[in-house]
Each structure stands twice: as structure tokens, then as C-alpha cells.
Amino acid sequence: MTFRSRRLEALFGSRLDQLTYEQIAGLAGVEAAAEAEDLEYKREVAAADPKGKEELAKDICALANHIGGALVIGLTDVKGVPTKVMDIDLADAHLRHLEQVIGSSTAPQVRYETYPVRNPDDPGRGFLILAVPRSPHGPHAVTTPPVKATEKALRYPRRTGSLTTWLTETDVATAYHHRFTTTADRAKRLLDIEREALMALPPSNQPQLMVSVTPEVPGDMPITQGTFNRHRRNLLVTSPYPASTPVRQRWTSRSSTSPTWTRSSTSCFRCCTSWAPMPGIALASPAPSWSRQH
């Protein structure tokens, strides 16, 4: 699951997986780049002792249990504002160690992505970005024994503004309830999408291949003329029939309060604001065409 954040991408100037060393180094001294609920800086993460392992697991779980975000390692901060570049070791052995610590110190294990950003003048060192999506499988707990005696025995962290706090028992119960109800809602959503697709398809004796997809974490995709054109470029340039002629690009658009299906003789596609697509194609047709309304 690739983590995307409009706010962070606007702040950094690119996607997290495409950041350059210069872009991250340029954040030093920028007050607008201060720590927030979706962003934290660390000078280094050794995770070589119990305290270091606990802190790393806590930071990762806190982002996953909230809205997701990025942990940028290799920048010091003063009151949350990044101030100085402090390149860290990016050797494979060190990165594997961090992965092992996170995997063994969180439950359920947190999904995240690791992006080493190497210093062009010293490729063995640089920044490390840990991108953590908001998790549909929370709450995630820190499983390492507490370094200090604490009343917070539940050990479920989350981000609160620019700080990391601990979930109360009520918060944990609410999070588990949300996990189970969300799973049931996704299953119902798949059936609804398929039902709407079947109603939109014209009567035909041809077999139809239909694929229903719904995201684990619903997104927020405004359907505008810009997104319409982008999907037309990205989705319609290749035929769903690999051995056939290119797809005839026939799209329709009209204003409405929600995206709906349009009828097509051979194929159809739906794209929702929640990023739940539903393509359908006829399995035997010489000239497929695609239609959509939004």
C-alpha cells in the first residue's frame, strides 16, 4: 500500500517515494515544515537497546493508529522545527535491523514503506523516510516490555497533534469496534458495487468479466475535470484485450451529485470518490469501448 498525503506532498514538493536529498535537506529551518500529527523528525534511530526499540515501535504504531504519516530520520529539530541535517547510516544491515525491530515489536504488525534517500556525496549515508499509512487493522500495540514502570500498560500509542500519547481503555475498545465494523462495511460495499454494475449493463448473451475493488482505507478523490482527464489518460490508453486493436476512447460526462454508471455495448468502468473502481468487460467482443459518468 503506497502512502499518499496531499499535505505532505505539497510540503515536501513531491511524493514521498520520489523525494531527493536536496528537498529534505532544504526543510531545515522551515517553520512550515514543523512536526505535526502526520510528521515527525528523528536525529537517528539506533534501536540497539530496549529504549530505542520501544521508541521506534511507539512512533510507528502512533502514526498507524491515527491518520498515517512520515517519520523522517536524519534531521534534528528544535520545538518540532527541523534545524540541522544529520545523515544516518543507510547500510543494508542497519535497514534490515530496523525492519526486524518494527516487525517484532508491534502487534498486529504495522504496514509501512522504507525510503532511503542517499547523500549524492556520500551514498552510504543520508535520510531515511518511514511512510506509515493509516491502518485498517488497528489498534496496533507496542509489544516490547516497558523500559520504565508505567500505568499505561495497554501500550497503544497514537499521534495527538505533534505529540505521541497513549490510548485509554475506552479508546482501544472504540478502535477495535471500528476495525470490525469497517471490515463488514467493505464486504457490503463490494456487493453494492457489483449489484449496481449488473443493473447498468445492457442485456447480453455474452459472458462478462467483472472485478469489484474497494479500498481498505477509503480515500478522498474529488471528481473534477482534472481528475476526469487524468483517468482518461491513465486508464484508457491500453486495451483490456492485449491481442486486439487499441480501445476506442468514448467517454461521457455530466454533472451529478455522485458518480454513476453509463451503458456501453461491451465494457464499462466506474470510479468513485472513495477510490472504489469497478471495471467490467465482455469476454468476446471485437471493439470494446469505455463509458463513464461523473
Helix (H) or strand (E) holding 81: strand 81-85
Model pLDDT, residue 259: 43
Task: Tell me: pLDDT of 207 over 90.
Answer: no
Model pLDDT, residue 258: 43
pLDDT band, very low/low/confident/very high, at 125 (cuts 50, 70, 90): very high
Most confident stretch, 125-134, 176-185, 203-212: 125-134
Task: Tell me: pLDDT of 293 over 50.
Answer: no
Which one is predicted more confidently, 136 or 257?
136
Task: Tell me: pLDDT of 54 over 60.
Answer: yes
pLDDT band, very low/low/confident/very high, at 44 (cuts 50, 70, 90): very high
Which one is predicted more confidently, 157 or 294?
157
Residues 150-194 have pLDDT tens digits of 545 568 888 888 888 888 878 888 888 888 888 788 788 888 878
Helix (H) or strand (E) holding 159: strand 157-160
- The three-state DSSP-derived secondary structure of 277-290 is CEEEEECCCCCCEC
Model pLDDT, residue 119: 98
Q: Are strands 39-42 and 68-73 parallel, antiparallel or unpaired?
A: parallel
CATH fold group of domain 6-167: 3.30.950
Task: Tell me: pLDDT of 16 over 90.
Answer: yes
Q: Are strands 75-78 and 141-142 parallel, antiparallel or unpaired?
A: unpaired
The whole-model pTM stands at 0.67
Task: Tell me: pLDDT of 40 over 90.
Answer: yes
- Residue boundaries of the structural domains of the chain: 6-167, 178-282
Task: Tell me: pLDDT of 85 over 60.
Answer: yes
Average pLDDT value over all residues in the chain: 79
Query: Given phi > 0 = left and psi -120 to 50 = alpha, else beta, which region is 69?
Result: left
